Structures are given as C-alpha cells and as structure tokens.
Amino acid sequence: MTACNKNLALEEATRIVNYIEKGELTQEEKDRIVKDSISNFNENVNPGWLQYRKSVSTNEAFVEWTDSEEHFEDLYGTQFIDCLGGFGIYTCGHRNPAILKTVKAQLDKYALHSQELVDPLRGYLAHLLAQITPGDLQYCFFTNGGAEAVEMALKLARIATGGRWYISTVGAFHGKSFGAISMGGKGAYREDYLPMIQQVQHVEYGNADAMEAAIKNLQTVGEKVAGVIIEPIQGEAGVIIPPMGYLKAVRDICDKYGVAMICDEIQTGMGRTGTMWRVEVEDVTPDIMTYGKAFGGGIMPITGIIARPNMWTQKLIDNPWILGSPTFGGNPLACSAAISTIKYMLENDIPSICKEKGDYFMEKLGVLQKKYPTVLKTFRGSGLLICMEFPEAEVGYEVTKGLFARKVMTAGTLVNAKTVRIEPPAVLTYETIDQVIERLDGALADAKEAFKL
C-alpha cells in the first residue's frame, strides 16, 4: 500500500490538470498518459477492468481523449464511428454544440446549488418534462444515475400504494444498486448479493397473463403488491420487443388490482426508439416513469422519475425529503443540459430521425442477413435501438472485434456478445451509416471464414 504523500499528490494533480487544460499534447505526454492509464486502472480501479474492456482491442490500449458529434478519438487521433452511443446517452451526438453552449453559459453563472434557495432550472425542467410526457404525468424527482432513479420509483410505489411486493420480469435490467438489482432478471448479477429485497417475483417478459397471475396469487394470500416494473423494450436482455398490446394489458392489470405501473424508459426514452417515449406506441401512461441516459444530451449526467398526481401522496408533501435527498440531483448544470436537450430534440424532431435512420439500418441489415445467414442469425430493433443476434457469443465477439479493427465501436448486451447492439447517435449521417454497413460486411465475412460457417 502506498503511504500518504500529499506533496507527491500535488505534483501529480498539477501535471494532470496541465494535460486537461493544454491544447495540444506532445508525443511524450501522450505516451505517458497511456502508460499511466494502464497502471492506474490496474492498481487503483480494478485489475480486471482493462482485461474485460479490451474485449475488442486485443492487447492495444486505446485511451479516449476527444469526441465530436458522431465520432470519438483516442490520444493519437485514431477516429472511431460510434455505434454504441455510450449505451444510449449520445442520442444527440457527442458534445452537441447547441447543448454544450447552454451548459457553458450556465457554468459562467453558477454550477451547483445552495441546497436551500429556490433553483429555477429544476422547476423549469420539471415543467417541461410534464409537457412532453404522456397523460397526466406531473411530479418530478431528479437523480444522478439510472439505478438511483429506479430506487426512487420503487420507494414511491410503496409510499403511494402501501404495498410491499414488486413484480418484475425475467431478463430485466434496471441497474445494479441493491433495490434495482433485486428487480433485475439476470442471475449472474444477483447471485453474489442474495438474499436481496425478498418481496419480488419475476415473470416471463411479454406475458401479461403471467403478470396478472402473480399479482392475483399474492393478493389472494393477503400480500399487497406495490408495483410492477417493466422496460417497454428490454434493452440489455438483447433488445427484446414485447408483442403489441402487452403494455396496455399490463396497464389494465395494474388498474384492476390497484398496483403502480412503473415503466423504465431510461434507455428507450428521449426519442431513441422512434417516439419520444416508447410507451406512446401503445398510448399508455404509467404511474411512474424513469428516464436518463440521453436526457442530459450526452453532456451531463441526469436521471429521474416523473409520476402521476395520485402517486404524490400527502406524506410526500408534508416531508419532501422522505423519498430521497441526493446532493447533486437536479443540479443547475445538469438541468441546463436537459432543458437544452429537450429544446434540441423538439426543434429537430429527433424521435422521427431515430425512426427513419433505424429503418434504414434495418433495411441494410436485412441485405447482410441474406448474404451471411449462418453468421447473422437475426436482427431486430426499434428506431436506433437495434440488436444483431449470432449463433454463439464467440461469433458475435469476432464480429465486434472485426468492427473495432475497422474503427466502428459496438458492444454486446450485458457482457454477452451473442447479441450485439447498434445504438448510435441520431446525428449519424446516412453516408456514415453506409460506411458502417460496408465495414460490418467485412467483419461478417471474416467471422464466417474464422468459424467455417
């Protein structure tokens, strides 16, 4: 263990600040940053992280340093087309100039809030969100990460209904905090933490009858259900799209039994799937909805929940902090980014762009699937949330690695490359999409040869 050395820390911090503030780095400085990064991650982050993250870069270390619109670059200027989109955060692109301008302007005023005076941007953002969400969704609570937003949704369901049980779905992903992972439907992320929140049942995704049976059985034996939590499309499970009518059926079931319907729109929302919110496809208004990822415009982290008035009980009005009190939740910088993101999305109709470019991607994938049916088993998606499925994880890994070598970034879903996502920024041009398809063609050909498919 390294002994405390404040003088050494000051020297190190000064050098790093210089890297950040400097316009152009020397070759020596770039080499030093790469060397430092490998050492720092192995010694101070997690020795397994680089081994895991280098899944598509073999033994070569790519240190991310700059980005713009549809690309990001490493220290040496190697440019990658982003078809991962930070798992959905870059719907508006990398460092979108319009959103960045707003955040910089806010930074010149004040960055964080006093915690006591009225912060106007939080109020403005909540009002705007009520205007762009379905039905009578009205009251907002802002958080910093997706799992934190899910925690607030789960707590609110209990406060509002008096219930204690939750119904989730097999294959679900709602984050990795203790409550959120209790709702998760993938064993690998749950096993080390058992027992978790005990009052949780998981049912088959897309099966409304199974959902109703679980609620009915619990209530029959005297157990009250607080909420149902579902993703309108299961993202990390492999872009699983439920049958049309599923969300509406779940809405009816929740109404029938007095259960809060929680829709997790953290990945599917903010235009990603071709509508501002995926629940709009079935004209459904959940009782509580979570949002995040693209909500901060790819500039600032901000997530949260919005709820219907009947969820906001007198207990929450009497004690506004009973739900939670995140120090940085809804801070001015994050709110300025989200407000500017909403403006940008509405001005440019980003949901429609996601739908049109998603349809274009899917059409091109259809051609490749016919060309390589033994490699690209199938594909599916909505808007720019698209998934390619391969016969085995090793095949998908080979394709992903081939794309990375061709300077296109993609990734599997929940550490499994059997399904590989395409989740690019909406600002990706059609010319760039054609480049991605051309490079994917090459990667599929290589995988076919490597596995003799």
Count Cα neighbours of 65 within 13 Å in the Cβ-side half-sphere: 23
Per-residue CA distances from 120 to 117, 247, 336 (Å) = 9, 35, 10
pLDDT at 57 > cutoff 90: no
- C-alpha distances (whole Å) from 5 to each of 11, 18, 377 are 10, 20, 56
pLDDT digits (tens, 9 = 90+) for 160-213: 999 999 999 999 988 888 777 778 777 777 787 777 778 999 999 999 999 999
pLDDT(414) > 80: no
Cα separation, 411 vs 239, whole angstroms: 13
DSSP alpha helices (H): ranges in 45-145? Answer: 49-53, 85-88, 97-107, 120-132
Query: Whole-prediction pTM value?
Result: 0.94
Kindly report, residue by residue over 118-174, the tens digit of the pLDDT: 999 999 999 999 999 999 999 999 999 999 999 999 999 999 999 999 999 999 988
2-50 pLDDT per residue, tens: 678 999 999 999 999 999 999 899 999 999 998 888 888 888 888 776 6
259-278 b/e (C-beta count within 10 Å ≥ 16 → b): bbbbbbbbbbbbbbbbbbbb
Least confident of 66-70, 247-251, 441-445: 66-70
Measured at the alpha carbon of residue 36, what is the angle toward residues 30 and 41, in degrees to the nearest 5?
A: 130
CB 83 within 8 A of CB 387: no
Task: Decide if pLDDT at 54 tops 50.
Answer: no
Across 54-58, 117-121, 418-422, least confident range: 54-58
